[in-house]
Amino acid sequence: MAANVFQGGGVVDLVLRSGPVAKLVLVILLAFSVVSWGVILHKLWYLRRVSRQTASFRDVFRRSTKFSEVQAVCRAFSQSPVVGVFQAGYAELSTQLKQAAQEMGSPGEAPGRPTLKSLSAVDRALLRAAAVEVAKLERRLPLLATTASITPFIGLFGTVWGIMTSFQGIASVGSTSLGVVAPGIAEALIATAAGLFAAIPAVYFYNHFVAAVKELTAAMDDFALEFLNIAERNFT
């Protein structure tokens, strides 16, 4: 009799046979799964593009002789977080140099080359920009973490509820034969399987994306130090 449960549709047949609470649990898990896969696919495309643009921008930066030349190509690499860090540092650098040039042009000031008043201010601007860019890279990752942590428990709830319903059915029938027990247990376990189906990809890709964000964060830190070294050599 237990084998008959799996005839005529298999898993689909089990889902259709399940009660309203089990179906509600499955709908919730399906929603989590669909949304998390949407985030996964978008992040895969986005981070691949970010990594490609970051490598290209750093190559342009190292081949350029002036910050103004780098600023001119920033729009072509707008997805790269390193571009945001550069633009923040360049804006602070330009502001300080303009102020220094105005002071040098005032009466009583000896002519000379404009210099930075505060290299630490440039450093702070780079750090603020890096924090903003990291927040952009981490956007929607908490949803994957939530899916990975909560969906197994939602599936377990559906399973427990299904087993309770099965035991009530056993009590009403008054038989503990495999043919009576197996269908209800099989229906209950569908919820656990659905919870794991939603959680496993979310866990894997969450860890993958966190590693990618850490790599890009390290690239921003390295770039900020490189920017500061150039600014110190040329403007102090």
Summarised one tens digit per residue, pLDDT across range 158-201 is 888 878 777 776 666 665 565 556 666 777 788 888 999 999 99
Summarised one tens digit per residue, pLDDT across range 28-76 is 999 999 999 999 999 999 999 999 999 999 999 999 888 989 999 999 9
Q: What is the pLDDT of residue 75?
A: 92
**Residue, of 168 and 203, whose pLDDT is higher:** 203
Q: What is the pLDDT of residue 5?
A: 42
Instruction: Give the confidence band of 6 by pLDDT, cuts at 50, 70, 90.
Output: very low
Query: Does the pLDDT at position 226 exceed 90?
Result: yes
Q: What is the pLDDT of residue 7?
A: 46
Query: Does the pLDDT at position 230 exceed 80?
Result: yes
CB atoms < 10 A from the CB of 81, how many?
25
Summarised one tens digit per residue, pLDDT across range 71-109 is 999 999 999 999 999 999 999 998 888 887 777 665 555
| Cβ pair 47, 215 in contact under 8 A | no
Alpha-carbon distance 203 to 147, whole Å? Answer: 8
Q: What is the pLDDT of residue 112?
A: 60
Query: Does the pLDDT at position 110 exceed 60?
Result: no
Q: Does residue 177 come out as left (phi exceeding 0), alpha (psi in the -120 to 50 range) or beta?
A: beta
Domain-wise residue ranges, the chain: 2-235
DSSP the chain: -HHHHTTTTTHHHHHHHS-HHHHHHHHHHHHHHHHHHHHHHHHHHHHHHHHHHHHHHHHHHHH-SSHHHHHHTGGGGTT-HHHHHHHHHHHHHHHHHHHHHHHHTSTTPPP-----S-HHHHHHHHHHHHHHHHHHHTTTHHHHHHHHHHHHHHHHHHHHHHHHHHHHHHHHHT---HHHHHHHHHHHHHHHHHHHHHHHHHHHHHHHHHHHHHHHHHHHHHHHHHHHHHHHHHH-
Model confidence pTM above 0.85:
no
Q: What is the pLDDT of residue 35?
A: 96
Q: What is the pLDDT of residue 175?
A: 57
Q: What is the pLDDT of residue 102?
A: 78
Q: What is the pLDDT of residue 2?
A: 42
Q: What is the pLDDT of residue 51?
A: 94
CB atoms < 10 A from the CB of 96, how many?
20
Instruction: Give the confidence band of 4 by pLDDT, cuts at 50, 70, 90.
Output: very low
Q: What is the pLDDT of residue 8?
A: 43
Q: What is the pLDDT of residue 183?
A: 62
